[in-house]
Amino acid sequence: MSGGHSKSESDNESGFDQKVWAPQGDALQNLYGQLGDLWGQMSQGMQNQIPGATDWMNQIRNQSQPYWNNMMQGGAYQGMDLQGMYNNALGGGGNEQFVNEQIMGGKGNDYADAMKSQIMGDAQTAQDQMTNISIVPFLER
């Protein structure tokens, strides 16, 4: 092959010249040294904060645990078995089941049960009326 670059020349080519202009060398070296020192100080400062942050998180957990337990036992909603619903949800009980049990058929939910019954009755009446209307003309022919 003639012309072009030799193998050693092409291997040494770079898209960015990393040489520093001589008068800037000392200033950049000083800047990088200061940045390294600053990072070391910050890193040590962050490391020193870890035990305190861990203690603070443990205090929050310890303070909130009784409230969590109270809530899971029903809290203001005694008798709803929130822990059981939570366990049921984890075990695959779906939203439809939850809605049906707690909203449409929950204990003492007479209003929702009556409303559900009325809606189902109205739907059945409408279906019966539509069925009668559509069948009668064909039977008379």
Mean pLDDT of the chain: 75
In the chain, the number of structural domains is 2
Question: Is the pLDDT assigned to residue 1 strictly greater than 50?
Answer: no
Predicted confidence at residue 58, as pLDDT, reads 92
Tell whether 3 is covered by a domain. Answer: no
Question: Is the pLDDT assigned to residue 138 strictly greater than 60?
Answer: no
17 vs 12: CA distance, rounded Å: 11
Tell whether 85 is covered by a domain. Answer: no
Residues near 75 by beta carbon (within 8 Å), at least 6 away in sequence: 82
Q: Which of the four pLDDT bands, split at 50, 70 and 90, describes residue 55?
A: very high
11 vs 6: CA distance, rounded Å: 9
Q: pLDDT of 20-52, one tens digit each?
A: 888 888 898 899 999 999 998 888 888 888 899
Tell whether 83 is covered by a domain. Answer: no
Residue 82 and residue 73 in contact, taking contact as beta carbons nearer than 8 Å = yes
Residue 118 tokens read as: 């009325």
* 3-state secondary structure (DSSP) of residue 37: helix
Tell whether 79 is covered by a domain. Answer: no
Question: Is the pLDDT assigned to residue 14 strictly greater than 70?
Answer: no
Mean pLDDT of 76-80: 70
22 vs 24: CA distance, rounded Å: 5
Tell whether 78 is covered by a domain. Answer: no
Look up the domain containing 141 and give its range. 108-141
* 3-state secondary structure (DSSP) of residue 16: coil
**What CA–CA distances, in Å, run from 12 to 5, 6, 129?**
11, 10, 89
Tell whether 64 is covered by a domain. Answer: yes
DSSP 3: S
CA atoms within 13 A on the CB side of 138: 5
Tell whether 81 is covered by a domain. Answer: no
Domain boundary among 44, 72, 100: 72
Tell whether 138 is covered by a domain. Answer: yes
Mean pLDDT of 81-98: 67
**What CA–CA distances, in Å, run from 1 to 4, 7, 38?**
8, 11, 54
Q: Which of the four pLDDT bands, split at 50, 70 and 90, describes residue 129?
A: confident
